[in-house]
Amino acid sequence: NAGVTQTPKFQVLKTGQSMTLQCAQDMNHEYMSWYRQDPGMGLRLIHYSVGAGITDQGEVPNGYNVSRSTTEDFPLRLLSAAPSQTSVYFCASSYSQYQETQYFGPGTRLLVL
């Protein structure tokens, strides 16, 4: 049982480049979400999904895109990277949208130059 996995662990992008952050979970959780964590700020929700085929915006969705074609996977796409998107990104999953016992992945550190 691997829990929540994320790839890559670290990525450097140039402004304007696009990329996809991968997230997978093997706990059969319906609810998955993406957060970003910046120094001096709390975790902020980017996008979330309550099940395959259903996604919605969180607090800070601009510049990001998501899709959920399977229960297991929830990739996050940066459409055109900007320096303001330099951050640590965490994927999380839980049994339901009520988020009791939410499990987080190890994170992806992204640097946009």
What does the binding site for another protein look like in residue numbers (CB under 8 A)?
A: 4, 40-45, 48, 56, 58-59, 90, 92, 97-107
CB of 85 to another protein, least distance (A): 19
Number of C-alpha atoms within 13 angstroms, CB side, residue 12?
Answer: 1
CB contact at 8 A, 89 and 13: no
Q: Identify which of residues 43 and 52 has a Cβ nearer to another protein in the complex.
A: 43
Q: Identify which of residues 14 and 39 has a Cβ nearer to another protein in the complex.
A: 39
CB of 14 to another protein, least distance (A): 25
- The answer to whether the Cα torsion of 50, 59, 40, 80 is positive or negative is positive
SS3 for 27? coil
Q: Identify which of residues 15 and 99 has a Cβ nearer to another protein in the complex.
A: 99
CB of 45 to another protein, least distance (A): 5
What's the rounded Cα separation, in Å, for the pair 102 and 15?
33
Q: Identify which of residues 14 and 98 has a Cβ nearer to another protein in the complex.
A: 98
Antiparallel, parallel or unpaired: β 108-112 and 10-13: parallel
CB of 43 to another protein, least distance (A): 4
